[in-house]
Homo-oligomer: A and B are copies of this chain.
């Protein structure tokens, strides 16, 4: 999806703003704008760290980021965050701490907004609150699918799931340029980096996909779907 994003100096004019804000009035938008920090991150940089305080709501306006739990010597990537989407950790309503980390996969830009402004708007605008709860619910549902994939499918099924996620939800095209590393692919599918590489090679050898460097094309989505569904 070649979507030329351009940024404005304020939220009202910005056509990068996340669709969650569609229910906000111009005044409410100006409240957000008044507390907004616009920041750039280079690929590899940490946006926030698990365990640290979470005073900001993060809106990714360009590039690609990942949110991941730092577990027992390895990471589990919960999701990739593409523009324009936001990161709102559950710690905001619990104890103001981050329960996962976020970092830039590609160079990206983000707007950071004071969470208290956000919570105030949730309290005062019922449509906004409902939209927010809906999105939290969608995230839960996505996580359910993810945990079932991780715990009940074998490696081929898990890689198939991740390839569809990347093609349909992140890059939104086929073929696509795989901008995440092999390690990140492994961290998304809950396996070692070597295993992930081996499965990709097998899929290539079986003609399910092509992979040259980072250029990947799914050639046989039907077969890949079958692999996804049988685990």
Interface of A toward B, CB cutoff 8 Å: 69, 71-74, 76, 78, 90-94, 99-100, 119, 122-124, 126, 129-130, 132-134, 136-141, 143-144, 146-148, 150-153, 190, 230-231
Contacts and interface: CB of A to CB of B under 8 A. Distances in A.
B133 A133 contact: yes
The 4 closest A-B pairs by CB, nearest first: A90-B137, A90-B140, A123-B126, A93-B134
A139 B144 CA distance: 12
Contacts of A139: 140
A92 to B, nearest CB: 7
A71 B152 contact: yes
Given A91-B137, A139-B140, 6 more contacts: A72-B230, A93-B137, A94-B137, A122-B129, A123-B129, A136-B140
B153 A99 contact: no
